[in-house]
Structure 1
Amino acid sequence: MNLLYEMFPMALGIATPIIITALGGLFSERSGVVNIALEGIMLVGAFVGATVSVLTADALGALTPWVSILAGMVAGCLYSWIHAYASIALKADQTISGTALNMLSTGLTIYLCQLIFKGQRTPTFTENFTRISIPVLKDIPVIGKLFFSDLYPTFYIALFLVLVTWFVVFKTKFGLHLRSCGEYPQASASMGIKVEKMRYIGVLTSGALGGLSGGIMVLTTNIQFSVLAIHGVGFIAMACLIFGKWKPFGCLAAGVFFGFSQTLSKYSGFIPGLKSLPSEFFYCIPYILTIIALILFARKSVGPKASGEIYDSGKR
């Protein structure tokens, strides 16, 4: 039981950026645009968040990590505008556009890192997120130790965003319009809905959440930024979106699942029966489980019908 109490907070910390990025993908795909640039957007958000943290630590003190993730959020939104413009205004292939942004983010962040810090890494953070325990709630038997003790405050941001996303997408007029654009864009346009505008909002929201999660990831699980800071989490988040059937609470459950799969690689040596296996095997587990989840659930998970399709106002 003690091992579970140790693993659970770490798993939730790892799951946080996965959940937030998956929610970003949900907004984009529900509007009809596939955003496989989430990995690159996270990397840009992580770089900007880390840079702001290093440059403002002395002036802002304890507020530094909060300001930094907001900066990462803005950067992710601006960076995703390239994908939005290419895929919506220029009607470019969404897969190629997203792939280009992923490739561009690597070279861009390395170049800017060398330009600002004279190297391929930022200096070590002096101000980043620390784990907290919530008074009173942490003393609740079992649940207190799992959900309210020794957790990063950013996990509660992820929970809040899940609730907000569910309400906005499924309980508001805006959400209805957004979903209609991802299902039947021509029919939506005939009802007076501005499809291109809704798709821009979906992609930019996706970028903002991706940049936010990138900033959160680098300021919780790292002590400095490098080009390997994200290491495939954006793609895992896309698998999480499919696994969660394009629904906020599904993304939450899938994100926690993938968080545990990564945590298992760190605690495998303490679990009886797993000690004899090589450590490299456990580092592969998150990605193996991602492939298995896609094989098992991708066929059953039906996404928005018009997701990935270029919107043509003349098509009927």
Structure 2
Amino acid sequence: MLEWLDLALITDVLRTSLRLMVPIAFAALGGVICERGGVYNVGMEGMMLSGAFGAALGTFLTGSPVMGVVVGIALGALGGAILGILSIRLNVNQIVTGIAINLVAIGLTAFLARLIFGLNATTKTLPGFTPWAIPGLSKIPVIGPVFFDQDPLIYLLYLLVPFLYWLLYRSAFGLDVRATGENPGAADSAGVPVYGVRFLCTLISGGLAGLGGAYIVVSQVFVFTEHMSAGKGFIALAAIILGRWDPLGALLASWFFGFCDALQLRLQFANPSVPYQIFTALPYVASILALIGLYGRVKPPAAVGLPYRRESKT
């Protein structure tokens, strides 16, 4: 038990928690914007997987992880565009649309990966980002190695959270987003372009989910494997609810799930005789228990998941 009080071990667990929560956080932040605008994005798992494939493809073709991230964001945004067209313009059920995006992404990325990278796709090591230590700050005990000796995408996350908070609560666009998610008919009457706002929200959500998938490739594993998102898009959905549809809350919820993931890895290492599947289920069990604990205590945006038809103003 005393080994858990070791400072180096605590630092390692916190550092691992941060790295594991980043893909979830990117997707959850995008999901907050999307659901605040009135659209469920159940397709974040597929968008993350598309982003991971895009990152691998862009990096493979150009040799640059930066271009990989750009392509990953683009493919994630493409998934968001598909969600927007089907659910906003064609009024297809948002849940069904999201599930369809997930299924198509799983099959299509697996097929294209074998077609482009060959059968040895999982052995092609790609160039990626390495940690950048911030002088001075990275030397602070515990906090320094955890927060200030990381790769550039984590530093981007640090900047993205306050920016999205400002965008959602302090900008005119954020007011339009929140109005569209609460009462699109009233927002439309006030001159808010409801369809345009919702479509832009799906693009942002898809792009950020794609960025989360890209992070896995260019900052964590440096290869592309089939279904490598491994349910992180669904955990991001839980983080949105646990964070009460707020950027800061979603970040903290993502950290909680990242910590659970890091903890299960440590438990696997410390208990090799116990079936690893028991520990692997820990983040998913934690997400279920967290949602059960919040049942009846949180309210989503009033119009989320509801199609808007201008003729009826509902």
TM-score, structure 2 normalization:
0.93
* 1:148-297 matches, cutoff 5 A: 148-149=148-149, 151-268=150-267, 277-297=274-294
Counterparts of 1:37 and 1:120, CA distance in 2: 28
In the superposition, relative to structure 1, how do residues 28 and 269 fare at CA in structure 2: closer, same or farther (>3 Å)? closer
Partner of 1:108 in structure 2? 108
Q: SS of the residue aligned with 2:245?
A: coil
Partner of 1:301 in structure 2? 298
Contact 1:54 1:125 in 2 (8 A): no
Give the one of 10, 13, 16 matched to 1:10: 16
* 1:91-102 matches, cutoff 5 A: 91-102=91-102
Q: SS of the residue aligned with 2:277?
A: helix
Q: Deviations over 1:148-177 (max 9, x none)?
A: 23x232211112111111010110011001
Counterparts of 1:308 and 1:195, CA distance in 2: 14
Pair 1:51 & 2:57 matched? yes
Counterparts of 1:47 and 1:189, CA distance in 2: 38
Return the letter of the residue paired with 1:100. Answer: A
Counterparts of 2:179 and 2:240, CA distance in 1: 19
Please state how far the C-alpha of 1:122 moved relative to its aligned partner: 5.2
Return the letter of the residue paired with 2:284. Answer: Y
* Number of aligned residues: 307
Please state how far the C-alpha of 1:11 moved relative to its aligned partner: 0.9
Please state how far the C-alpha of 1:120 moved relative to its aligned partner: 7.4
Return the letter of the residue paired with 1:249. Answer: L
In the superposition, relative to structure 1, how do residues 123 and 53 fare at CA in structure 2: closer, same or farther (>3 Å)? farther
Please state how far the C-alpha of 1:126 moved relative to its aligned partner: 3.5
Partner of 2:3 in structure 1? none
In the superposition, relative to structure 1, how do residues 270 and 92 fare at CA in structure 2: closer, same or farther (>3 Å)? closer
Counterparts of 2:295 and 2:62, CA distance in 1: 44
Q: SS of the residue aligned with 1:158?
A: helix
Return the letter of the residue paired with 1:194. Answer: P
Please state how far the C-alpha of 1:145 moved relative to its aligned partner: 2.9
* 1:110-149 matches, cutoff 5 A: 110-119=110-119, 121=121, 123-149=123-149
Counterparts of 2:223 and 2:138, CA distance in 1: 30
Contact 2:127 2:222 in 1 (8 A): no
Please state how far the C-alpha of 1:82 moved relative to its aligned partner: 1.0
Contact 1:31 1:179 in 2 (8 A): yes
TM-score, structure 1 normalization:
0.92
Q: SS of the residue aligned with 1:186?
A: helix
Please state how far the C-alpha of 1:299 moved relative to its aligned partner: 2.5
Please state how far the C-alpha of 1:276 moved relative to its aligned partner: 6.7
Contact 1:110 1:120 in 2 (8 A): no
Please state how far the C-alpha of 1:52 moved relative to its aligned partner: 1.2
Contact 1:120 1:227 in 2 (8 A): no
Counterparts of 2:108 and 2:136, CA distance in 1: 46
In the superposition, relative to structure 1, how do residues 270 and 85 fare at CA in structure 2: closer, same or farther (>3 Å)? closer
Q: SS of the residue aligned with 2:132?
A: coil
What stretches of structure 1 of length at least 5 have no aligned partner? 58-63
What stretches of structure 2 of length at least 5 have no aligned partner? 1-6
Contact 1:120 1:226 in 2 (8 A): no
Please state how far the C-alpha of 1:96 moved relative to its aligned partner: 0.5
Contact 2:32 2:246 in 1 (8 A): yes
* 1:70-89 matches, cutoff 5 A: 70-89=70-89
Q: Deviations over 1:191-213 (max 9, x none)?
A: 11111111001101111111111
Contact 2:56 2:126 in 1 (8 A): no
Q: SS of the residue aligned with 1:252?
A: helix
